[in-house]
Structure formats: structure tokens, C-alpha cells
Amino acid sequence: MPEYQYLSGFESHFTSEDSRFPNALPEGQNSPQKCPYGLYAEQLSGSAFTAPRTENTRSWLYRIRPSVVHQPFKRFEGTAPFLRGTRWEEQHPNPNQMRWNPFDLPADGKEVDFVAGLHTVCGAGDVRGRHGLAVHVYLANCSMKDTAFYNSDGDFLIVPQQGPLDITTEFGRLYVKPNEICVIPQGMRFSVALEGPSRGYILEVYDGHFRLPDLGPIGANGLANPRDFLTPTAHFEDRLVDGYRIVSKYQGALFVATQGHSPFDVVAWHGNYVPYKYDLARFMVINSVSFDHCDPSIFTVLTCPSNRPGTAIADFVIFPPRWSVQENTFRPPYYHRNCMSEFMGLIFGRYEAKEGGFLPGGASLHSMMTPHGPDHRCFEGGSNAELKPERIADGTQAFMFESSLSMAVTRWGEETCQKLDAKYYECWQALEKHFHL
């Protein structure tokens, strides 16, 4: 059986069973008196039982042992010291434009796995009230060994920047390369194996789950197509392990419990609450073919809506390779002050609006109503270029986490990491006065 097999679709109702044990899924019911092969039935709920059908998410797992077979959880001291929950008051507010140089990978000779390498950069809200988000980076160089992790607080949208992630989940295995993303919804246990030093970004949302944005007048097709999202197929291991660790992120803190077996013992499952991955190269770009520069919302891959129509707790937006053909138009991003917070990262390449200082593995944050836009070089080039059809962003993939919440920066993000570029503001100082009669 190949290691990586997938089911395609978004918000679909899937069924899957390990081919080594056919007919492991019960027929016609979820919880029979006795499950096939002596398995245990366990439901994983991603929504309230009484949520509307269109929003109701859950999966049934048929496993060798139920998840409850573990020792009591204890505080996981000393691990991921820079992971923050909702302690957003540790730094004084700072409205300035912020740009980070690439975050450092772990030093040679120091083993850091995915969990230990989590660092919170910024965020807003409260995990107890299930409202808000956080932005993290992971900086790791070794695989998780006999350890699984799950997040009680919300969903993880993971964006690898350097190095692929081999992710084992209760639902099966995902192989996620740079320029792909994956989503691990709340409560799902997973373990990350690495092939070498790895770095990436994580968008965590507390309120709900990611969904595809509505297309409105675009019509039925375009942007991220549902069939391009891939969910793993059932693939289990029946492995006894003395002291297997289950790490839980709960109310922003880490806890650990031990058990005597691997948690990845799900022989079959069905439902619509699943992990998934998506290849950003499959995004179907929509753009202007006449004049003016469209708002970046046309590049939204996934959104986590708020209770206000049209307003997101978080949008995941990309700026992929595409044709630019607008006439009589300033084609680069326009100058802007926004009622949203904009955190940007660069997976690879050179971002068109700031080719000099915005580097892969780094980031920027433009907070609410803080002005931002192209640097001097980009403005002059965009104002004087011959406006012929041209390919832009080839070999580049930039992205943005945009939120309606005002995000605070952590002490690690502003001070400890020592990656904040104090001279970022200088990229706009050469902008000249062109006013004339």
C-alpha cells in the first residue's frame, strides 16, 4: 500500500478504511454493539451537535483503542517556551510598520522538533471565549519521536517555507511541501517528521473552521477549486510504545500525558471533519483585464468568517504567478490604510512591492490603519513602466494572513528573536513630491 493516498474534495463526506482490513467500517450505523474486528467507535466533533446541517462537522473513527486510554495530563514544562496563548499584554502596543528578516533555524547540535519549535509572533482574542487568532512560526530540525500533538484551542493552517513535512494524523498521512498548505482542525492528533531543517508559518483560528470564500459574481468556478483539496486515507499502526507522549495545547498552555501505544491506530473512518492539504499552484487567479488594480481579496484561498457578514476572523490570501495586462493603471499594490491587520510572509522568490528587504522566511505586519504600500523603487517603476502584458511573480509565492482583529506582537516577536528590521520605515522615505500645476 502506498504511503500517501488521498481523497479529493472540500467539506465532503468521506469514507475510508485501511485496505489491509476490508469492511472495517460498520454498515448502516455509526456505533454498533460490536464493531468489526473488535474495534472501538469514537466520534470526533468539530461543531455542536445541534449546529445547522450546513455547518455541522464530525467524523467517526474506528480504532484499536479509544483515545481515553492515557495517563493524566501534566504541565509540559520547558517545551516551546515562546508559544503564547492569549497573553497579548506582555508588550506595549506598537502601531509602526514591522518587518522581520528570516527567522533563525535551530543552532547546529540542538535538536528541536515541531512542537518545541513553535514561536508566537502576534495575535488577538481569547481561547477561553473561542474568539480570535494567533500567528506562529515553527523553526525545527528533527522529527517528533513517539510524540503526538493536538490543539484544543483551534485550527492550524500550516504554511511550509523550507523543508517538507511528513505528517501522520489519525486519519492517515499527509506529505506537505513548500508551496502547499495543510489544515489540521481542532482536536486532531498528529505527528511531524522532517527531512532536515524546516521553517514555516502557522495561522491559528479559535472561532470556527476554515471554508472556501463565496464567489459572488465570479460564478461557480475559480480561485481554489474544491476538488484540489486532498484528505488522507486511513492508514493505521498497531504499535506498543512505553511512554508514548500526547501533547495537548489547552488554553494556550502545553500539557503532556503518556500512554503505552501509538494513537495512530484508526483502521477506518467516515465523516466531514478531516485534515487536508492544498497545492497553491492550483489556485485559479482572477484579475482585471481592463484597468485598475483589484483588491487583494480576489486572491483569498480560505477564510474563517466572523459573525459580521463579509468580515473575517482570518483570511488566507496568496499572490501567485499571473499575467498583468491592465491599461493606464498603476499595477503594483496601491498605498493603503486598512481597518484589517495584515501579516505577510514569503515562501520563495521576490515580492513585487518590496523586492529588496522582504525575504523568504521573513515576515511583515501592517497593523490597523497603519499606512503601507510600495517602496520608492517599486513606485517609480510602476509609474513609468511600459504597460504591455507581462508575467509577474514567476518563481514567487507571497501570502497574507488578514484579520479583522487588532493583533498584538509578542515579546519574542518584537525583541527576543532579534529579527525585527528597525530600518524598515526607510524604504518609503525617498518617495518624492511630484505635485505640479
Q: Which domains does the chain have, with CATH numbers?
A: 71-265+274-280 (2.60.120.10), 283-428 (2.60.120.10)
Q: Return the H-helix or E-strand segment holding 383.
A: helix 376-384
Annotated binding site for Fe cation: 336, 342, 372
The DSSP output letter for 284 is B
SS3 186: coil
| Residue 386 buriedness (CB in 10 A; 0-12 / 13-18 / 19+) | exposed
Which pTM does this prediction carry?
0.97
Q: Is the pLDDT of residue 239 over 80?
A: yes
Q: Is the pLDDT of residue 49 over 50?
A: yes
Averaged pLDDT for residues 342-348: 97
Q: Are 403 and 341 a contacting pair, CB within 8 Å?
A: yes
Alpha-carbon gap, residue 168 to 142, rounded angstroms: 15
Average pLDDT, the chain: 95
Question: pLDDT tens for residues 13-32?
Answer: 999 999 999 999 999 999 99
Question: pLDDT tens for residues 102-132?
Answer: 999 999 889 999 999 999 999 999 999 999 9
Annotated binding site for homogentisate: 351, 372
pLDDT of residue 356: 64
Annotated binding site: 336, 342, 351, 372
- Cβ neighbour number for residue 403 with a 10 Å cutoff: 28
* Grid cell for residue 351: 515580492
Residues that are catalytic = 293
